[in-house]
Amino acid sequence: MERLQEKIKNLEFLLAQNEVKSLEKQIKPHFLFNTLNLVARLIYLGKSEESLEVVYALSKLLRYTMEKKELVRLRDEVQYVKDYLFIQQSRYGETLKYQLDISQNILSCLIPTLALQPLVDNAVKHGLEPKGGGSILIFGRLDGNKVVLKVIDDGIGFGEEKNPLHQNEGKMSSIGSGLRNIKKRLHFYYGDEFKLDIVSQPQEGTEVTIILPFASDANDEYVPVFWFDK
């Protein structure tokens, strides 16, 4: 019986790893091509310094996804998000604004890799881009022994009937499959001790909330961050 349980656990772990790889494939192609086109355009316009900054940010993103870690510190995921948003802001200019409001005391928290960035990517692609721009707030607080993370945008939003967490597997959109992917991985690591919720109103915006247990990296070096507007 114990051997069977161990095999099941190992299988679940392999499936969770596969979910991460699948999620990476969803993120990289369109973003990579758009970024390379951005670099080419900046070079053509004679903005060599800005093009180098974009290339450097892209190299950090690729390095992060290639590390193949199952769990990362929140500060590392946040840095990944900042690099991602730097590139997107270089692409969209002043039409894209963002704000990070994350408490310092949760930056050492361990979370599944790519648990936060896909939410920001969804906000840009499905919320702000169709609207022609807007703003994103990335919020993080400690509430008792729980970490509360929110990604809030003022994009086009959607009605409850289009809530991706309530869609059937066969009719699921790309945003729905991405959220379902994150939900599965959160359940793998936290069981029933997490919450993933999405609230949206048409033409008003979308708020995605993740609540999970606080688990700190004992080897984390404390570095003061964060109130950051861009």
Domain layout of the chain by residue ranges: 2-229
User: Domain 2-229 adopts which CATH fold?
Assistant: Heat Shock Protein 90 (3.30.565)
In 3D space, the residue among 60, 71, 186, 54 whose CA is nearest the CA of residue 119 turns out to be: 186
8 Å CB contact between 153 and 173: no
Band the pLDDT of 103: cuts 50, 70, 90: very high
- Percent of the chain at pLDDT exceeding 90: 56
How confident is the prediction for the chain on average, in pLDDT?
83
Q: Is residue 104 scored above 70 in pLDDT?
A: yes
* Distance from C-alpha of 201 to C-alpha of 58, rounded to nearest angstrom: 33
* Distance from C-alpha of 99 to C-alpha of 152, rounded to nearest angstrom: 10
pLDDT of residue 226: 38
Residue 171 CB coordination number (10 Å): 7
Q: Is residue 18 scored above 70 in pLDDT?
A: no
Considering the entire predicted model, what is its pTM? 0.81
Residue 65 CB coordination number (10 Å): 18
DSSP structure class, residue 109: B
* Distance from C-alpha of 213 to C-alpha of 140, rounded to nearest angstrom: 13
* Distance from C-alpha of 61 to C-alpha of 55, rounded to nearest angstrom: 10
> Per-residue pLDDT tens for 150-185?
999 999 999 877 777 765 655 545 566 778 888 888
